[in-house]
């Protein structure tokens, strides 16, 4: 996300041109496209969970190109399903949970941003939700009009990065003091929205999904790390 700020062209190539090529290929071969996007397409002063039809207001190169990637996919392949998700982590790759486990083992204190509010998403839960959606579509259990468009998915609940870090350390018994800091004290190249909680009513109603809490997601993930 931060690298996108200094390499706008590459971010555009991946997030917009890449999306366009996928949509063209899917359209040509008449196959479905499910595209993952981000909560960072939103930014507003109000503190109510975002709904899929809320006005977007992307603030970073990453978020702007992700939004354009959504739009190009929908234009070329109108049956595309877009899932906007947030704060994704898993036992694989680089992510906040793994970074906290590493830093927590190395340091006595850490300052973590407490004025950005959102919801962590355990990638395994997102993957399971997507598989359930596809299965229900295949089985003909989903109304036609519900099989396209934008959906939100994150785990249930709300927290700050500071809350999330503390929960990771408590769960693992890591003795590292976490101090709450502000976004100003931790400047990053890409601007993050202060509030990016997603309203998940649409995906729950249209696909009958039950969504675990972020605490359950963290517990399951830590069992695998
Ligand atoms: N992370 C978040 O908090 C978050 C939040 C909202 C939405 N999203 C969205 O979720 C998606 C995945 O993000 P992520 O954070 O999981 O990213 P990530 O950890 O960097 O994983 C990206 C994946 O894409 C693969 N990849 C990257 N460049 C590629 C290329 N040129 N050709 C083929 N594969 C390539 C990587 O392969 P390798 O493993 O081989 O490198 C990796 O498996 C993105 O669409 C992102 O916008 C992420």
For residue range 4-19, what is the model confidence (pLDDT) as tens digits?
999 999 999 999 999 9
pTM for the full predicted model = 0.96
- Report the share of the chain in percent with pLDDT over 90: 96
* 8 A C-beta contact, residue 37 and residue 67: yes
For residue 58, the model assigns a pLDDT of 97
CATH number corresponding to 2-224 = 3.40.50.720
Q: Is 155 in the pocket of ligand 1 (CB under 6 A)?
A: no
pLDDT at position 149: 97
pLDDT at 174 over 90: yes
Residue 46 has pLDDT above 90, yes or no: no
* pLDDT for 52 beyond 90: yes
49-68 mean pLDDT: 98
Task: Give 94's pLDDT tier (boundaries 50, 70, 90).
Answer: very high
Kindly state the average pLDDT of the residues 51-57: 97
Place of tokens 């977007």: 56
**Cα–Cα distance between 122 and 103 in angstroms, integer?**
20
- Domain boundary assignment for the chain: 2-224
Summarize the confidence of residues 15-34 as an average pLDDT: 98
What confidence tens digit (pLDDT) does each residue in 96-149 have? 999 999 999 999 999 999 999 999 999 999 999 999 999 999 999 999 889 999
- Measured by CA distance, the residue closest to atom 11 of ligand 1 is 36
Write down the pLDDT at residue 168: 98
CA of 175 to the centre of ligand 1 (A): 31
- pLDDT score of 59: 96
Among 88, 126, 152, 154, which is best to mutate for testing ligand 1, by the most ligand atoms less than 8 A from CB?
A: 88
When pLDDT is averaged across residues 197-223 and rounded to a whole number, the result is: 98
pLDDT band at 20; cut points 50, 70, 90: very high
CA 141 / ligand 1 centre spacing (Å)? 30
Indicate the average pLDDT of the chain.
Answer: 97
Instruction: Give the per-residue pLDDT at 145.
Output: 87
Q: Are strands 149-152 and 109-113 parallel, antiparallel or unpaired?
A: unpaired
Give the residue, by CA position, lying nearest to ligand 1 atom 29.
14
Residue with CA at minimum distance from ligand 1 atom 30: 14
With a 6 Å cutoff on the Cβ, whether 154 touches ligand 1 is: no
pLDDT band of residue 45 (cuts 50, 70, 90) is confident
Q: What is the mean pLDDT of residues 169-186?
A: 96
State yes or no: is 153 an active-site residue: no
Cα-Cα-Cα-Cα torsion 22, 27, 33, 39, nearest 10 degrees, comes to 70
Q: What is the pLDDT of residue 65?
A: 98
């Amino acid at each position: 996300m931060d690298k996108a700020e200094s390499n706008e062209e590459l971010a555009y190539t991946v997030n917009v041109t890449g999306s366009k090529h996928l949509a063209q290929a899917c359209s040509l071969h008449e196959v479905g496209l499910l595209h993952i996007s981000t909560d960072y397409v939103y930014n507003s002063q109000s503190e109510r969970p975002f709904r899929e039809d809320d006005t977007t207001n992307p603030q970073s190169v990453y978020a702007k190109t992700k939004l354009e990637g959504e739009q190009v996919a929908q234009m070329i392949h109108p049956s595309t399903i877009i899932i906007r998700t947030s704060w994704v982590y898993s036992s694989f790759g680089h992510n906040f949970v793994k970074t906290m486990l590493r830093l927590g083992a190395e340091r006595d204190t850490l300052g973590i941003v407490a004025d950005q509010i959102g919801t962590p998403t355990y990638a395994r839960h997102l993957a399971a939700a997507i598989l359930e959606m596809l299965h229900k579509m295949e089985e003909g259990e989903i109304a036609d009009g519900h099989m396209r468009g934008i959906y939100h998915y994150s785990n249930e609940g709300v927290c700050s990065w500071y809350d999330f870090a503390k929960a990771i350390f408590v769960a693992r018994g890591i003795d590292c003091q976490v101090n709450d800091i502000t976004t100003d004290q931790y400047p990053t190249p890409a601007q993050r929205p202060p509030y990016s909680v997603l309203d998940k009513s649409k995906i729950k109603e249209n696909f009958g999904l039950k969504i675990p809490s972020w605490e359950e997601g963290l517990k399951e993930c830590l069992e695998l790390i």
